[in-house]
Amino acid sequence: KQEVTQIPAALSVPEGENLVLNCSFTDSAIYNLQWFRQDPGKGLTSLLLIQSSQREQTSGRLNASLDKSSGRSTLYIAASQPGDSATYLCAVYSNYQLIWGAGTKLIIKP
Amino acid sequence: DAGITQSPRHKVTETGTPVTLRCHQTENHRYMYWYRQDPGHGLRLIHYSYGVKDTDKGEVSDGYSVSRSKTEDFLLTLESATSSQTSVYFCATWSGGKSTDTQYFGPGTRLTVL
């Protein structure tokens, strides 16, 4: 059974720092992996989708990497801003379903 | 954004009453999903559909049923609501055709069972 874990559950850093969020999964037979952002009380915003054949994807200040053999993905956020404060969720496509981590709540202090 | 709507957006009901949530899509996607989101759990799959009248159970299906009579509509029913079903419910769709395809999410329904 595929399980997805995100560590840490919460993270608070000063504005301007570069930071890394971690996601691990137990079964390397994944289709794709996707990172989402969720603001409090809001819906889900897709950030990056990494296909199983890819190693990384970039969008602006965000870079996501995928290492299937070790069952890990990281989301790198450069030059963090207060507007980056949100919960970041990692999800793995497996057997036509998305399996989700519990998320990392990120707070960027001005 | 994909055309996915959920109704109602908010609902308060009492224990023991039946509740039906509706998801409507305009994208003609084959797959549709119902998730619930609770603090500390991320999203958990309740049921999903891989075509009209084709559905399967997810991780937390007990107490829920679904129906899909048309490609565009996926209904989630709580036959007899309980307080443990207080949650935020998200519907999603997926074409499933290409490796670059992403799931698209509705805005969510906040359900409170008193």
Nearest CA in chain A to B43: A100
Determine the length of chain A: 110
Task: Please tell me which of the candidates B41, B90, B96 has its beta carbon nearest to residue A96.
Answer: B96
Q: Are strands B64-70 and B54-57 parallel, antiparallel or unpaired?
A: unpaired
- A 10 A CB-CB count for A35 gives 24
Instruction: Pick the more confident residue, B36 or A41.
Output: B36
- Angle, CA of A3, B95 and B8, to the nearest 5°: 80
Coil vs helix vs strand at B7: strand
Given a cut of 90, whether residue A97 has pLDDT beyond it is no
Residues of A in contact with B56 (CB under 8 A): none
Q: Which of residues 39-78 of B touch A (CB under 8 A)?
A: 40-45, 48, 50, 58
d(CA A73, CA B88): 27
Instruction: Pick the more confident residue, B99 or B23.
Output: B23
Task: Please tell me which of the candidates A6, A52, A97 has its beta carbon nearest to residue B48.
Answer: A97
According to the model, what pLDDT value does residue B58 have?
93
According to the model, what pLDDT value does residue A12 have?
96
pLDDT bucket at B103, cuts 50 / 70 / 90: confident
- Could you report the per-residue pLDDT of A8-46, keeping only the tens digit for each? 999 999 999 999 999 999 998 888 999 999 998 888 999
Q: Do B33 and A34 touch (CB under 8 A)?
A: no
Residues of B in contact with A43 (CB under 8 A): 90, 105-108
Chain A positions with Cβ closer than 8 Å to B: 4, 6, 31-32, 34, 43-44, 46, 49, 51-53, 89, 91, 96-103
Nearest of B110, B97, B113, B92 to residue B47 by alpha carbon: B92
Instruction: Pick the more confident residue, B40 or A49.
Output: A49
Residue B9 near residue B110, CB atoms below 8 Å: yes
According to the model, what pLDDT value does residue B99 have?
67
Given a cut of 70, whether residue A50 has pLDDT beyond it is yes
pLDDT bucket at B102, cuts 50 / 70 / 90: confident
d(CA B76, CA B64): 7
Task: Please tell me which of the candidates B35, B50, B99 has its beta carbon nearest to residue A51.
Answer: B99
CB contact burial B26-46 (16+ within 10 A = b; e otherwise): eeebbbbbbbbbeeeebbbbb
Residue A97 near residue B58, CB atoms below 8 Å: yes
d(CA A66, CA A4): 14
Flag the least confident range among A71-75, B81-85, B95-99: B95-99
